[in-house]
Amino acid sequence: MSESKTPFFVGKSFVYDYGSLVAHDHFVTDTLLRFEVVGGPFAGVKGEAPFEAHEVSPDVWMITWQESNGATVVHIDDFVRGISYSNFTDAQLGFHRMLGNIRELGE
């Protein structure tokens, strides 16, 4: 296993657009994420959560967290290609698989 390093995206905000769901994620520190769902059926959900990030190949990161309502989220984010695979379980235990785009907020 390689040594961990601080992800380059710490301190930055991103738009995750999956079509049916749009979220803004701000990586406050290397362990704290603030999120807000701004489009789709979960619009208005927001909060912060501790997260873990592991680089699985150059600039491709697996990012995981659990929200205070019990929802769990796993992303595989390819920041070079701007692609995000997201799997999450909502607070009612519904399972969702999504493929979308990532861009830095403000670009």
What gap in Å lies between CA 92 and CA 67, rounded to an integer? 13
In a domain, 28, yes or no: yes
pLDDT at 4: 63
Dihedral, 17, 88, 61, 68 alpha carbons, nearest 10? 100
Looking at per-residue confidence, does 29 or 3 come out higher?
29
The per-residue pLDDT for 6 is 80
> 3 lies in a domain?
no
2 in any annotated domain: no
Q: Does the residue 89 lie in any domain? A: yes
Which residue matches tokens 């301190």?
11
For residue 42, being part of any structural domain is answered with yes
Distance separating alpha carbons of residues 83 and 15, to the nearest angstrom: 11
CATH code: domain of residue 62: 2.40.128.20
Identify any residues that bridge with 102 across adjacent strands, giving them in sequence order: 16
Tell if the pTM clears 0.95, that is, is over it: no
How high does pLDDT run on average in the chain?
A: 93
Residue 39 maps to a domain: yes
How many domains, in total, are found in the chain?
1
pLDDT per residue as tens digits for the range 6-25: 889 999 999 999 999 999 99
Q: Is residue 94 part of a domain?
A: yes
pLDDT > 80? residue 106: no
What tokens were used for 58?
């150059």
The range of the structural domain enclosing residue 54 comes to 13-104
Residue 70 counted as domain residue: yes
